Chain A
Amino acid sequence: MVIEDEVMISMQAVNKWYGDFHVLKDINLTVNKGERIVVCGPSGSGKSTLIRCLNRLEEHQAGTIKVQGIEINNDLKNIDEIRREVGMVFQHFNLFPHLTILENCTLAPIWVRKTPKAEAEAIAMKYLERVKIPEQAHKYPGQLSGGQQQRVAIARSLCMEPKLMLFDMEPKLMLFDEPTSALDPEMIKEVLDTMVSLAEDGMSMICVTHEMGFARKVANRVIFMDEGQIVEQNEPEEFFQNPQSDRTKLFLSQILGH
């Protein structure tokens, strides 16, 4: 359910350059609480850069970005606050190989939230059960399959709860940067199922992906980006059936055609 009057993300006239290269051009985007957005587009279109600007992994040079009303700028306190509320899942999982699965998940609660160890472990086990791999808690990432590692990565971001209560508030927003692109086909389903279940529980999410089936099933909006700008956005069915822009039509023909 989308809560219309609660704005999760507000991006206004956002521009970013890498040196001389203009990588994000005039991005205007509003995301409400509970919305699920899928961002698609050809390589180099700036999709990953867009979502990485939302937790300051990349810096934007012009325009304003506000996450839950907190503006992203050089103020470190703001950045810390935002990073606590926003979880991120990477294409290459980025689990910490020298720590067990449980330690991977309890790291943030213990060191960022100062949660006591026993409580952090309870939170971690709860989310490992949520992603359906509690029995792997004492293994190392290298011993797990790709699909399992990605699910651990999802659980790890969910563990950064803002409050001490176990039943409240996971991070309000999850960013997914091509979460299934590095997975073998037979493992993609298990990760997508996890993401669908999160969506059904009301998590706001922005997902960069090529999995159009997922977009159809879960997304409120699909955004198409090309060459640094948002070219088209629409509800999934309309987007896939009636693409308006020529560039969108070209892209869809390439990815849906085979």
Chain B
Amino acid sequence: MTQHSHDSVFVRTVDAETLPPPQNQSGIRGWLWRNLFYSVMDYSSVGASVRSLAMLFFTVLVSYVGITQLWYLLDFVFLSAVWSDPTGIKREACWTVSQGGTLPDDWHAACWPFVFAKLKFLAYGPYPMDELWRVNVTGLLGLAGIFWLLIEALPFRRLVGVLMLTAYPVIALILLTGGASDANYVNSGAYILVGLALITVGRLGQRGLLGVLASDFASIIGFVGWSLIVYQVLMLIFSVDVGLEPVGTGDWGGLLITLVVAVTGIVVSLPLGVVLALGRRSNMPVARLLCTIFIEFWRGVPLISVLFMASVMIPLFLPEGVNFDKLMRALIGVMLFSAAYMAEVVRGGLQAIDKGQYEAAEAMGLTYWQSMRQIILPQALTHVIPGIVNTFIGLFKDTTLVSIIGLFDLLGAGKSAIADASWSSPVQAISIYLFVAFIFFVFCFGMSRYSIFMENKLSKSRSH
């Protein structure tokens, strides 16, 4: 029963009915209507008709182009591609009749036997065949650790996290390089003693027993002491001979190098970036100045020139005879470079936090680091997950630049595989590049999807 609400005096006595929406607004028909047909069905006036016809034309054009290109790609990659080389004729398996092979003259598709033959090289580079198990173990261990961290239901996640950041890199390095590096025990012993002395000074300074020394400065001294000791202990661990064949980093290549550089860069750049961002926003002028200089310097030069400088200049600063591993140089360059980028992404997130959050934390008596850890950073980092993952994905692809300093990453391995004359054919290059692109896509899209997953999970828990 309708009641007229346009009289000047009105009191509703019967509630209005709750009805379902009209038919063509809901369900599949509604979706189709709104998204596909609406723009081409309006012929009510000349202007509307022109618009509708134009939309119809473009829809047909785009569909045609899209579908034909997709078909062409599928044909190239799957349907017409050569998949096996049973008689071992190598490159001739992918030749047309006029080139000397068996395929029809208009054939133009992928040559997969070539890619399959190069798989080991693409994945491991020139790593010795007998020792590949070590790379596989490292990879599986890493995957298991990551998997453990990602599944909420599993126990001891915090312990696993700590182990992954501390024990795993050490184990990985020993497994991959074979350990047994040279150790100067006298040197190490001396450094450890110095470290202990610094820690003691730091502790005393923090307790106010050294008068003049300010508490913050004392903690820095203690920190330096700890770093020295940790470094020396690591050097000693690496010098232990566990009976593995040594494989220098010059023999690594392919996906192994790409993952080592990318994972190290990613894992280091986030915490370092957070510290830099906090430093840039700090009230202490020295911290702010140093962090700003760091960030602007590393952002001001291209990654290629950073790698060049790392590769060429670092050896100039080292004493005679000390040889800094080439991969290590690239890693340091990549870590510092991506930390600078990450710092700005994180700073954006910090700026987006309402000032009231900082004030409420302060008014409650939380210290600077407590409020950062409990209140500000969880919110800031959640806000900029898209930016953070974006930086990670960019970093992953930027690792291809290490080829400039003579390291063989995945792309570099692909390029050198093309130089193999026994597989030479017109589709040799494109086959391997398609495969390399596919591998990159799997990793980058995987990170992208994980980012969406994290965003959804975090927004659900905040119910905003």
Residues of A near any B CB (own CB < 8 A): 55, 57, 80, 83-84, 86-88, 90, 92, 94-98, 107-108, 111-112, 139-140, 142-143, 156-157, 160
Instruction: Kindly state whether residue B264 has any CB partner on chain A within 8 Å.
Output: no
* Least CB distance, A6 to chain B, in whole angstroms: 23
| Contact partners of A94 in chain B: CB under 8 A | 354, 356-357, 359-360
Residues of B near any A CB (own CB < 8 A): 354, 356-357, 359-360, 362-366, 370, 374-375, 378-379, 382, 458, 461-464
Decide if A83 touches B461 in the complex (CB within 8 Å). Answer: no
Kindly identify which residue among A92, A107, A143 contacts B374, using a CB–CB cutoff of 8 Å. A107
**Which residue of B has the minimal Cβ distance to A97?**
B462
| Contact partners of B365 in chain A: CB under 8 A | 80, 83-84, 108, 112, 160
Decide if A92 touches B356 in the complex (CB within 8 Å). Answer: yes
Decide if A55 touches B363 in the complex (CB within 8 Å). Answer: yes
* Least CB distance, B384 to chain A, in whole angstroms: 14
Please measure, in the bound complex, the distance between the C-alpha atom of A87 and the C-alpha atom of B363, giving whole angstroms. Answer: 7
Kindly identify which residue among B370, B375, B458, B464 contacts A96, using a CB–CB cutoff of 8 Å. B375
* Least CB distance, A46 to chain B, in whole angstroms: 17
* Least CB distance, B52 to chain A, in whole angstroms: 43
11 contacts between A and B (CB under 8 A): A57-B363, A87-B363, A94-B357, A94-B359, A96-B375, A96-B379, A112-B364, A139-B463, A140-B462, A142-B464, A143-B463
Decide if B356 touches A111 in the complex (CB within 8 Å). Answer: no
Decide if B356 touches A98 in the complex (CB within 8 Å). Answer: no
* Least CB distance, B312 to chain A, in whole angstroms: 46
| Contact partners of A111 in chain B: CB under 8 A | 366, 370, 374
Question: A140 and B370 in contact (CB under 8 A), knowing A57-B363, A88-B363?
Answer: no
* Least CB distance, A2 to chain B, in whole angstroms: 25
Using a Cβ cutoff of 8 Å, how many contacts connect chains A and B?
Answer: 67
Decide if A98 touches B382 in the complex (CB within 8 Å). Answer: yes
Please measure, in the bound complex, the distance between the C-alpha atom of A108 and the C-alpha atom of B362, giving whole angstroms. Answer: 10
Question: A108 and B464 in contact (CB under 8 A), knowing A96-B357, A96-B360?
Answer: no
| Contact partners of B366 in chain A: CB under 8 A | 107-108, 111-112
Decide if B461 touches A142 in the complex (CB within 8 Å). Answer: no
* Least CB distance, A215 to chain B, in whole angstroms: 24
**Which residue of B has the minimal Cβ distance to A111?**
B370
Please measure, in the bound complex, the distance between the C-alpha atom of A111 and the C-alpha atom of B374, giving whole angstroms. Answer: 10
8 more A-B contacts (CB under 8 A) besides A83-B364, A98-B378, A140-B462? A87-B363, A90-B359, A94-B360, A98-B461, A107-B374, A111-B366, A160-B364, A160-B365
Question: A108 and B364 in contact (CB under 8 A), knowing A94-B357, A98-B378, A98-B382?
Answer: yes
| Contact partners of B354 in chain A: CB under 8 A | 92, 94
Question: A107 and B364 in contact (CB under 8 A), knowing A98-B462, A140-B461?
Answer: yes
* Least CB distance, A48 to chain B, in whole angstroms: 11
Decide if B462 touches A142 in the complex (CB within 8 Å). Answer: yes
Decide if A90 touches B364 in the complex (CB within 8 Å). Answer: no
| Contact partners of A87 in chain B: CB under 8 A | 363
**Which residue of B has the minimal Cβ distance to A86?**
B363
| Contact partners of A83 in chain B: CB under 8 A | 362-365
Decide if B364 touches A97 in the complex (CB within 8 Å). Answer: no
| Contact partners of A139 in chain B: CB under 8 A | 463
Please measure, in the bound complex, the distance between the C-alpha atom of A199 and the C-alpha atom of B45, giving whole angstroms. Answer: 70
Please measure, in the bound complex, the distance between the C-alpha atom of A52 and the C-alpha atom of B317, giving whole angstroms. Answer: 53
**Which residue of A has the minimal Cβ distance to B358?**
A94
Closest 7 CB pairs of A and B: A94-B360, A94-B356, A83-B365, A88-B363, A108-B364, A112-B365, A140-B463
| Contact partners of B357 in chain A: CB under 8 A | 94, 96
* Least CB distance, A26 to chain B, in whole angstroms: 26
Please measure, in the bound complex, the distance between the C-alpha atom of A22 and the C-alpha atom of B418, giving whole angstroms. Answer: 75
* Least CB distance, B375 to chain A, in whole angstroms: 6
**Which residue of A has the minimal Cβ distance to B357?**
A94
Decide if B375 touches A142 in the complex (CB within 8 Å). Answer: no
* Least CB distance, A78 to chain B, in whole angstroms: 12
Please measure, in the bound complex, the distance between the C-alpha atom of A122 and the C-alpha atom of B378, giving whole angstroms. Answer: 25
| Contact partners of A84 in chain B: CB under 8 A | 365
| Contact partners of A143 in chain B: CB under 8 A | 463
* Least CB distance, A187 to chain B, in whole angstroms: 19
**Which residue of B has the minimal Cβ distance to A81?**
B365
* Least CB distance, B211 to chain A, in whole angstroms: 18
* Least CB distance, B461 to chain A, in whole angstroms: 7
| Contact partners of A97 in chain B: CB under 8 A | 379, 462, 464
Decide if B360 touches A142 in the complex (CB within 8 Å). Answer: no
Please measure, in the bound complex, the distance between the C-alpha atom of A107 and the C-alpha atom of B363, giving whole angstroms. Answer: 12
Please measure, in the bound complex, the distance between the C-alpha atom of A160 and the C-alpha atom of B364, giving whole angstroms. Answer: 8
**Which residue of B has the minimal Cβ distance to A175?**
B363
Question: A98 and B364 in contact (CB under 8 A), knowing A57-B359, A111-B374, A143-B463?
Answer: no
Please measure, in the bound complex, the distance between the C-alpha atom of A102 and the C-alpha atom of B357, giving whole angstroms. Answer: 17
| Contact partners of A96 in chain B: CB under 8 A | 357, 360, 374-375, 379
Please measure, in the bound complex, the distance between the C-alpha atom of A94 and the C-alpha atom of B353, giving whole angstroms. Answer: 11
* Least CB distance, A142 to chain B, in whole angstroms: 5
Please measure, in the bound complex, the distance between the C-alpha atom of A86 and the C-alpha atom of B464, giving whole angstroms. Answer: 30
| Contact partners of B370 in chain A: CB under 8 A | 111-112
| Contact partners of B356 in chain A: CB under 8 A | 90, 92, 94
| Contact partners of B461 in chain A: CB under 8 A | 98, 140
| Contact partners of A112 in chain B: CB under 8 A | 364-366, 370
* Least CB distance, A251 to chain B, in whole angstroms: 27
| Contact partners of B362 in chain A: CB under 8 A | 57, 83
